[in-house]
Amino acid sequence: MNNTILIATQNPGKVREMQALLSTLNLEVRSARDSNLDLSIEETGDTYLENAKLKAMAYCTASGLPALADDSGLEVDALNGAPGLYSARYAPQQGATDADRRTYLLEQLAGETQPWNAHFHCAAVLALPDGTWVETSGRCDGIIIPEERGDGGFGYDPIYYLPEYSQTMAEIPETLKNTISHRARAIQAMIPLIEQKIGLK
């Protein structure tokens, strides 16, 4: 098996983060765009893990390459764990942007007692051409704040405050985010499995 891995997403922010997280490996990290793949995977799973597996397996089958996918979600205590699995689709309008989803989330929290404690969760799956797969997970705790701060990151990062750093996920340096985020923790846990499965060690 050659030392190539495919990032199973169309999200450029995720591609950038994963390429940075995997940069220490002797590995060609391809995006779906690099491979001319434009798959639309319906996320029908009941868990982050099921959705990550659906995406990883579909991209692996389509490309013939080991494929790494993740499914992530934001769970807010005051909203009983919402938006959760629907974090990427959490706005009523068609074609909603990240900014639309942040605005909608804050609208749902209006009137709820602060602090708005929240948790980012990530499940990662590496699917292999022989039909096998491995999984890891990560979590990052924080607080939703009512105003946007910072211009880094993507998704809910500008309103996701990290008390231990006194900054939002969009304010901290990308190098720090790539060590403490839910996705970083899941991918860091995946690295030894990638090395084992792809034969880097």
Cα angle, residue 82 at apex, residues 122 and 68 outer, rounded to 5°: 20
Give yes or no for a cis peptide into 83 (omega within 30° of 0): yes
Tokens for 120? 């980012």
**What distance, in Å, lies between the first and last C-alpha atoms of the chain?**
13
Rounded CA separation 4/101 (Å): 34
Assess whether 71 carries a catalytic annotation: yes
Q: Which of 34, 46, 71, 151 is catalytic?
A: 71
**Phi and psi angles of residue 127, each rounded to the nearest 5 degrees, phi first:** -100, 140
Tokens for 130? 């022989």
Residue 178 makes CB contacts below 8 A (sequence gap 6+) with: 17, 20, 21, 184
Residues recognised as catalytic: 71
